[in-house]
Amino acid sequence: MSGLNASLGYFLTIVGVSAVGRVMLARSRLRWTFLIEFIAAFALAACRLEVDTIAEVGQWAGALGPDVAITMLFLSITIHGIIMQGVSGNPSVTLMGILQKDIGAVAGILSVAAQLLGAHFALVVAGKYWEMELTDMHMIKNLMMSECTTSLRVSALQGVLAEALGAVTFHLVYLVLKSRSQLLSVPIFSLLLTFIAYAGNNYTSGYVNPSLAYALTFTCPGHSFLAYSLVYWLGPLIGMSLALFLYLGNIPLLFSRNLLYSKKARFRVPKGKTSED
C-alpha cells in the first residue's frame, strides 16, 4: 500500500467517525457542548499528526513532497471547518468566549478539559495506527515515536512571540468573520491557518492552539514541559487577549467601559440651532 493511499484512508476514517459523532450529538437532546469539543479537538489533532508524518518522513520514505503535506493540511482544516460548525477544538477560542461573557466559566473549563482529552486520544489513536506499519513511512514514524522532533525550534521567549503573533492574526480574523457565512469564513480560515503553519514552521509550527500543540510536541524531547506550556499556552492567550482588546476596545469580563474607542453621540443638533440652544 502506498504512503498516500494509507494516509488518505486514515484521513477518511477520522473524518467519517468524527462526522458521525457530531451528527449523533447534534440530534440528541443532550446539550453537552464539551463532548462536541472533544470530537473537534480529536479530529483536528489526529489529522495534523498524519500531516506532520508526511512532512517529516514522507519525502524520503514515501516520495511525498512538502507540497503534499501543505495540500493535506489545507484540506483537513477545510473539512474540519465544514463538519464542526459552531465548535473550534481550540482552548484559546473557548477562553475568548469566557472573556466575552458568551459562555460561562464552568462550561468553558469543561470544554477546555474535553479539548485536551480529545487531543490526547488522537495521539493514542495515531500511535496505534503507526504501529500497524502499513507503509515504510509509518514504520519509520513508529520507530521515531519515542524520539519525535520538537516543533519548538527557537528559544521560549521567541516562541511566545511567534505564537502570540500568529494568534492575534487568527483571532482578529475570527472575530471579524464570526457572524459571516460559512461559505466565506471556512476557506479564509483554512488559508490563514495553513499560512500561519507554513510561516511558523522554523519557529513553533504556528499551532495557535494549545490542545493541538499538546498532541504534536509536548511529548517530544528537547524542551521542558514548562517551556512548552509558556510557548503554546501563554503565546496564544496573549495574542487572543490582544485581538479581543483591539476588536472591541475592551475585555468585557474585566472592563465595563470601552477603553480604546469612543462612542459617537447618539443625537444630533438640529440645523440652525446651536448646541447652547
Give the side-chain half-sphere CA count within 13 A for 273: 6
Q: Are residues 203 and 158 in contact, defined by beta-carbon separation less than 8 angstroms?
A: yes
pLDDT of residue 273: 52
Low-confidence ranges of the chain (pLDDT < 50): 1, 265-267, 275, 277
Crossing angle, helix 91-99 and helix 235-248, to 10 degrees? Answer: 40
pLDDT of residue 63: 66
CA distance 257 to 238: 21
Taken in order 147, 149, 151, 153, the sign of the CA dihedral is: positive
CA distance 235 to 40: 22
Cell of 190: 483554512
pLDDT of residue 82: 93
pLDDT of residue 209: 97
The pTM (predicted TM-score) of the whole model is 0.89
Q: Please provide residue 155's backbone torsions phi and psi, each rounded to the nearest 5 degrees.
A: -70, 165
Percent of the chain predicted with pLDDT > 90: 65
Crossing angle, helix 33-53 and helix 66-83, to 10 degrees? Answer: 170
